[in-house]
Structure 1
Amino acid sequence: MNNATTVRGFVTFLWVAFMNAFVDLGHKIVVQNTLFKTLSDHQQVLMTAIVNALILLPFVLLFTPSGYLSDRYAKTKVMKISALCAVFITLMITFCYYQGWFYASFALTFILAVQSALYSPAKYGYIRELVGAEKLSNGNAWVQAVSMIAILAGSAVFSALFELKLSPETPLQPGAILQDIAPLGWLLVIGSLIECLLAFRLPGKDHLRGHTPQDGARHQIQEPAFIWKDYILGKTLGRNLTLLFQEKAIWQSVIGLTLFLSISQVMIAAFPAYAKSHLAMDNTFIIQSIIAMAIVGMMLGSSFASKHSVNHINLALIPSGALIICAGLFLLPQVTSSVLLGGIFLTIGIGGSFMLVPLNALIQFHAKEDQIGKILAGNNFIQNVGMLLCLAVTVAFTTQELDVSYILWGLFGLGALVALAAIILLPEVLVRSVMTKLLGHKYRLQVLGFNNLPEAGQGTLLLGNHISWLDWAIVQMASPRRVHFVMDQTIYQRWYLKWLFDLFQVVPIAPGKSREALNKKISRTHTFKGWIYLWRVSLFWR
């Protein structure tokens, strides 16, 4: 079976991820809905941005320690301790609800985010340990889908119960509202308890197939001690960030994820105020339900990505997702119907999953095993810095009391740039997308031996049997790395095709001049383009 759910312990892991996202989102919904009931539209955008900033800051500040913990200790151990901490944090949050201490519960949003920041690299690194390279994309799709279901469930459950528990006679003061809906805190506690119990049932690395106890011991010894002085001075941060930029596929994936998540953060922060001021919506359940349609879309998109990424990483989804997001952002400020708005959020969610699933899988595939924790933590760092910057721009915008719809149009402009960059910087991925569509009507791609592909940075020569004129397309569709093709010079020099071959960095060769052609290619790419040497990328010899 190629489905990651057949792997021992993976379903339990999915439930852990579900409960973690459900609890985190639940408290955030309570805080945001309280702000919605008590503040004006501009104040609401400002405070919602601050709430989001409290959630994002720990991922920035704890980038280095979280990566170190994930690489130094067993990932299951990190998840177990984090889940146990969540139980105590939710108990404190519940106490604040009953006491009506809004700003204390507001501050505990940051503490809950600290727990998530320390937990995140271990969670995503554990996927690779658990399911292996062949099922990596499928595993990411499942985690993405389950997380989205959890966010959807949390949004719906906590918004509905918030409106149900809130009495019409309750004064519109944050403390009074919290005391009215305080029993919701016990739902947070129960969720964190379930997460903790399930986390302690996750199989450790020593119990995974193909792993020996000596592997874990050797890996643990190699990780140096954490130096707090270097961390405080930023030296460790600099060293860890360099890991992201050693491999082109990793840093490009990180940038792509950062841009999409930044757009999402601003959209979620701005839309409630936009709905209140432009669409006369004052019911938090309706507004949260519209936003939740994006989660439904991400769930559907993740399911589609999983189905079309069996035993490989489907890079063709990336440009498709960017274009879908761009189209949704264009329509968002022009629609007034709640139903249509829900459809737009659904569409944006689908496009988002088309980007998130392959990009996350690419990062995990290209990261070395002893560095994956730091790389995933660095991924979190860059993403959250980007989201914080976008939220800062949003806050600056709202302080000028300008029309909130301008923010939505600004998001469309950013989305258009992302789509354009995906096409220009990754032309071969666009071709994969087109070829997948064309060939998908007649052929079904099945990838075998994906785990035999080496990590990036290792020279690889792919020798096709060349039994048809479609082999070049099939190899492109299946490979997670960029493939450079070697071609007979007489074909390469045809004027109506040469521009296309140059775009994809084809290497022309002729009898007796193969070495000269390769040396010329190496010289050009290294000197003028800053690309890696040809011998460090994949070749397909026709």
Structure 2
Amino acid sequence: MTQNAPGQSPSQYQLLKQRRFAPFFWTQFLGAMNDNIFKIAFTSLVTYHTALFAGVDGKTAAFLISAIFIVPFVLFSATSGQIADKWEKSRLIRLVKTLEIGIMLLGTAGFYWHSAPLLYTGTFLMGLHSTLFGPVKYAYLPQHLNQRELVGGNGMVEMGTFVAILIGTIAGGEIAGLGEPGLLAIGGVCLSVALAGRVASHWIPESAAAQADLRINWNPFSETWRNLALARESRVVFTGLLGISWLWFLGATFLTAFFNFGKDVLSADQNVVTLMLAMFSIGIGIGSLLCERLSGGRVEVGLVPFGSIGMTVFAMDLYFASHHLSVLAHLQGVTEFLGRGVHWRILVDLFLLAMFGGFYSVPLYALIQSRCAPTHRARIIAANNILNALFMIASALMAMALTHAGFSIPEIFLVTGLLNAAVAIYIYLLVPEFLIRFVMWLLLHTVYRIRVTGAERVPDEGACLFVCNHVSFVDAVVIGATIRRPVRFVMDHRIFRIPLLAWFFRTVKAIPIAPAHEDADTLAQAYDQIAQALQAGEIVCVFAEGRLTDTGQMQPFRRGVERILSRSPVPVLPMALRGLWGSFFSRKDGAAMTRPFRRGLLNRLELVIGDPVSAADATPEHLREQVLALRGPWPC
């Protein structure tokens, strides 16, 4: 999909050259890398070199480390969200990065003295560090990126996070593989990365406090409840938070189980575990970056169901690829491991599972950021962190309970995949917008290829009336899928009598309309709903011809546009669809939808958006001339 949008970076990678993004990116990158060097090294050591730490159970230590790391998210997220809304963000980031240096000094002492209690304490404090940084991280981006950059910026941050995880995983695993000789080196590397992160944070530009007069409630329990209530005010936002938290549940289940999966199921050494973690990290990084291209630079929640389908498929296939493997008497290295074809299937499953996780997560983060009020955006992110932590704790409890019940690691993966399918269905029934957008997105990436010209003319906010030619039964779907803001369509009331179409158009809040001689009450209600929508700052789209064309030619525009504008004098955007005449959904050569694949697959369409017309100049005749000019030569 091509959109011409002045002000949009030619590529999301260009953000790395700009001060408003680059220092922040590298600060969070180094923080995520340090988290994982520390955690992976500690986890690897207690799994493969348990004797170095007195009183540690190597079988359960990985789950315990994961749980300790996320406890601060439950306890302090509500407080950190308030602090992020009240304080200037660049100053807060620098304070957090200074705290990280102190934590790494403690961690270095823990590795040097082989002290599990000190390392557990360091794990808790690194969780606190991430708790403080999280709300700032996702509240910072909407302050410095415009709507057209938000998906790309989030994709870059997600990609950077998981590349950092990859580097941290490899570094932590490799140094831990040295055993006792590598203990002091781990501390030195972690301390160096913390210092580099503090230096990078020095260049982060000032970010004004969202609500400087906010009075902080230091009671974490009452504030946690208040934050969750704040998030529930928007059903779509809260469902997005639940969706992200579920991804953390799924991710925590897989990542925490990798060490035992490698050692007990695959008979593999820690270098193979590092390889699996690398495939997982690369997958989610690539998926995050691809979101920019697949969504056309918009906040496209239609990718969320696509991601959830892929996660379910490859989580279940991971079970079928690994549940029958026999345990060897020795641990395989990377070369021996890669010598068996079934192991390549496991790596591909992990890569694709993670890639679809990227498709799933990036649009949800962008959705939450774009639909939250700026004054309490950080507290909504804090509510997200609380939910994430609770879901991750639930993940650890489920994994431990299933393990004690006799489930193998592959069987735990299968249960998680099936649960993912059930949760996805529940979310999409709760908020059908995700499923509707997926259907729209799928249509435009399978049957059609669409180019959008003039997308920059659609205002980022405020009321607007679209006026378009009416060529086929999917005109509304094409327009709705290509415009970055929700659109309220005015549709013939008879469509609402068809069961499936009725559900679809009611879900997208279409407005039914009827001729006065058929149903005067429906007509009056339609104009009332249109006026209410425009007054609320929404976009409304009308097909001013009043009916679908039978010939491909444009019919005269009706006077309804004048009646709408007399009540709500808003700007009018004329637009034209090209390429739909003669398609399966048009009436060319007879009734629509009677000749499948009439023009084959991957039909090329174009939506052309013209310059705005003032309400005073928007006569039916003038608007028809504008749409005709945009449509170009017939047939189109």
1:371-417 deviations in Å (ceiling 9; x for gaps): 11101111111111111112112222334454333311211111221
Q: How does 1:252-401 map to 2 (within 5 A)?
A: 252-281=239-268, 283-336=269-322, 337-401=342-406
2:628 aligned residue: none
CA-CA distance at 1:310 after TM superposition: 4.6
| SS of residue paired to 1:314 | coil
What's the % identity of the aligned pairs? 20
Greater shift, 80-89 or 474-483, is seen at: 474-483
Query: CA offset at residue 536 of structure 1?
Result: 8.4
The counterpart of 1:30, out of the listed 41, 65, 73, is 41
Q: Give the Cα separation in 2 of the matches to 1:502 and 1:369.
A: 30
**Conserved 8 A contact 1:322-1:422:** no
Q: Matches of 2:422 and 2:59 in 1, distance apart?
A: 25
Compared CA separation, residues 533 and 286, structure 1 to 2 (3 A): farther
SS at match of 1:487: strand
Q: CA deviation at 1:119?
A: 0.9
C-alpha separation between the residues in 1 aligned to 2:250 and 2:138? 22
| Residue identity opposite 2:132 in structure 1 | L
Which of residues 191, 194, 202 in structure 1 aligns to 2:193? 191
The letter for the 2-side match of 1:260 is: L
Q: CA deviation at 1:151?
A: 0.5
Could you say if the C-alpha distance between residues 538 and 491 of structure 1 is closer, same or farther in structure 2, counting changes exceeding 3 Å? same
CA-CA distance at 1:484 after TM superposition: 4.0
Q: Counterpart in 1 of 2:217?
A: 227
Structure 1 pair 497–125 and aligned structure 2 pair: CA distance change class (3 A): closer
Q: 1:119 aligns with which of 123, 133, 141?
A: 133
Contact 2:240/2:367 (CA < 8 Å) preserved in 1?
A: yes
Please name the residue that 2:553 is paired with. Answer: none
Partner SS for 2:490: strand
**Contact 1:135–1:310 under 8 Å retained in 2:** no
CA distance in 1, matches of 2:229, 2:452: 39
Query: How many angstroms apart in 2 are the aligned matches of 1:538 and 1:141?
Result: 27
Secondary structure, aligned partner of 2:491:
strand
Secondary structure, counterpart of 1:204 in structure 2: coil
Q: Deviations over 1:154-183 (max 9, x none)?
A: 1112212222x22xxxxxxxxxx4x64321
**Cα deviation digits, residues 48-75 of structure 1 (max 9, x gap):** 1211111111111112111111100011
Pairwise CA distance, 1:146: 0.7
Larger radius of gyration: 2
**What is the CA–CA distance in structure 2 between the aligned matches of 1:515 and 1:245, rounded to whole Å?**
35
CA 1:387–1:23: 2 relative to 1, 3 Å: same
Structure 1 residues 184 and 450: CA distance shift in structure 2, 3 A: farther
Judged with a 3 Å threshold, the aligned counterparts in structure 2 of structure 1 residues 492 and 180 are, in CA distance, closer, same or farther, namely closer
Q: Tell me the amino acid that sits aligned with residue 489 of structure 2.
A: F
| Alignment map for 1:241-256 (pairs within 5 Å) | 241-256=228-243
- CA separation in 2, counterparts of 1:75 and 1:499? 44
**CA drift at 1:471:** 4.7
CA distance in 1, matches of 2:40, 2:107: 13
Answer yes or no: is the 8 Å Cα contact 2:90–2:204 preserved in 1.
Answer: yes
1:308 deviates by 3.2
**Unpaired runs of 5+ in structure 1?**
167-176, 206-215, 455-459, 523-531
Amino acid in structure 2 at the alignment position of 1:199: S
Secondary structure of the corresponding residue to residue 19 of structure 2: coil
Q: Deviations over 1:278-332 (max 9, x none)?
A: 2222x11111211221110111111111223454212221111111101111111
Aligned equivalent of 1:146, options 160, 183, 193: 160
1:240–1:375 contact (8 Å) kept in structure 2 = yes
Matched, 1:465 2:460: no
Once the two structures are TM-superposed, the CA of residue 335 in structure 1 deviates from its matched residue by 1.4
- 1:510 corresponds to which residue? 514
- 1:539–1:444 Cα change, 3 Å: closer
Superposed CA offset, 1:455-514 (max 9, x none)? xxxxx5542433654652343224556544321124444578545545555432113434
| Aligned AA (1:386) | F
Cα distance in 2 between the residues matched to 1:79 and 1:302: 24
> Which residue of the partner structure matches residue 436 of structure 1?
444
Aligned to 1:49: 63
Change (3 A) 1:473 1:503: closer
Amino acid at match of 2:32: A
Secondary structure at the aligned position of 1:437 is classed as helix
* Higher relative contact order, chain-length normalized (CA < 8 Å, sep 6+): 1
Kindly state the Cα deviation for residue 115 of structure 1 after the two structures are TM-superposed.
Answer: 0.9
3-state SS of paired residue (1:280): coil
Instruction: Tell whether 2:239 aligns with 1:238.
Output: no
What's the CA shift string for 1:100-135, capped at 9, x where partnerless? Answer: 112211221001110110011111111111212221
2: CA distance, partners of 1:352 / 1:110: 26
Native 8 Å contact 2:464 2:534 kept in 1: no
Give, in angstroms, the shift of residue 333 of structure 1: 1.3
SS at match of 1:448: helix
| Structure 1 residue 516, shift from structure 2 partner | 5.3
The one-letter code matched in structure 2 to 1:114 is L
Name the structure where helix makes up a greater proportion of residues: 1
Change beyond 3 A, Cα 1:432–1:268: same
Offset of residue 99 of structure 1: 1.4
Q: Does structure 2 conserve the Cα–Cα contact (< 8 Å) formed by 1:270 and 1:407?
A: no
Q: Which residue of 2 aligns with 1:169?
A: none
| Aligned equivalents of 1:496, 1:63: Cα separation in 2 | 43
Deviation, structure 1 residue 199: 0.3
Determine if contact 2:468/2:541 at 8 Å carries over to the other structure. no
- Aligned match of 1:528: none
Say if 1:31 and 1:363 are closer, same or farther in 2 by CA, change over 3 A: same
Q: Which amino acid aligns with 2:315?
A: L
Kept in 1, the 8 Å contact 2:514–2:522? The answer is yes
What is the letter of the counterpart of residue 427 of structure 1?
L
Instruction: List aligned pairs for 1:136-175, cutoff 5 A.
Output: 136-163=150-177, 165-166=178-179
Counterpart residue identity of residue 214, structure 2:
P
For structure 2, the residue ranges without an aligned partner over 5 or more in a row are 1-7, 323-341, 544-636
Contact 1:152 1:296 in 2 (8 A): yes
What whole-Å deviation, never above 9, does each CA across 1:232-279 have from its counterpart, x for those lacking one? 5x3322222222111122111111111111011011122322332222
| 2:31 partner amino acid | N
For residues 209-252 of structure 1, the C-alpha deviation after alignment (integer angstroms, 9 at most, x for no partner) is xxxxxxx47x554x322133xx25x3322222222111122111
Q: Contact 1:310–1:447 at 8 Å: present in 2 too? A: no
C-alpha contact 2:534 2:540 (8 A) present in aligned 1: no
The answer to whether the Cα contact below 8 Å between 2:490 and 2:512 also exists between their aligned partners in 1 is: yes
Bigger shift: residues 269-278 or 79-88 = 269-278
- Secondary structure at the counterpart of residue 298 of structure 2: coil
